[in-house]
């Protein structure tokens, strides 16, 4: 295991100034995130366009399950692009995640 290199003094002082300067806004941000985390968002509260985008990429069986409103919906967000890697190391991950979600009772 490599030894931990001490943080450069300039980086340390800049980080501390940022931390001090953002204390109030950071606290406000964390409070908003706590409120958002406890707020329940249901499909019935989403706009038609959000629902349409959510349903568009699904196959027929998943769409049918999602319409029942009782199935959890898992979103897969990725910036992976097959064009960026000739080896396509993540090519199968979205499908594997979908299969795992279905096994867990989600779509």
User: Is 52 contained in some domain?
Assistant: no
- Can you tell me the distance from the alpha carbon of 105 to that of 64, in angstroms, rounded to the nearest whole number? 13
What's the pLDDT at 63?
82
More confident residue, 85 or 90: 90
What's the pLDDT at 3?
66
Please give the biggest Cα pair distance in the chain.
58
Contact between 90 and 78 under an 8 Å Cβ cutoff? The reply is yes
Contact between 76 and 98 under an 8 Å Cβ cutoff? The reply is yes
pLDDT per residue over 29-87, tens digit each? 999 999 888 877 676 677 777 778 777 878 888 888 877 777 787 777 777 666 666 67
What's the pLDDT at 19?
92
What's the pLDDT at 21?
96
Q: What is the pTM of this model?
A: 0.43
User: Is 62 contained in some domain?
Assistant: yes
Question: Which domain, by its residues, includes 90?
Answer: 58-107
Helix-strand-coil percent breakdown of the chain, rounded to 5? 60, 0, 40
User: Is 67 contained in some domain?
Assistant: yes
User: Is 70 contained in some domain?
Assistant: yes
User: Is 42 contained in some domain?
Assistant: no
What's the number of domains the chain is made of?
Answer: 1
User: Is 85 contained in some domain?
Assistant: yes
User: Is 91 contained in some domain?
Assistant: yes
Q: Please give the torsion angle defined by the CA atoms of residues 84, 86, 87 and 90, in that order, rounded to the nearest 10 degrees.
A: 30
User: Is 95 contained in some domain?
Assistant: yes
Could you identify the residue written with the tokens 């396509």?
A: 88
SS3 state at 102? helix
């Amino acid at each position: 295991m490599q030894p931990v290199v001490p943080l450069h003094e300039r980086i340390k002082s800049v980080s501390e100034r940022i931390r001090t300067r953002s204390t109030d806004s950071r606290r406000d941000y964390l409070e908003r995130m706590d409120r958002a985390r406890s707020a329940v968002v249901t499909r019935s509260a989403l706009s038609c366009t959000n629902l349409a985008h959510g349903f568009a990429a699904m196959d027929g069986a998943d769409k049918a399950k999602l319409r029942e409103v009782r199935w959890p919906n898992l979103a897969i967000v990725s910036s992976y692009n097959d064009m960026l890697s000739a080896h396509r190391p993540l090519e199968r991950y979205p499908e594997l995640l979908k299969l795992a979600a279905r096994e867990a009772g989600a779509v």
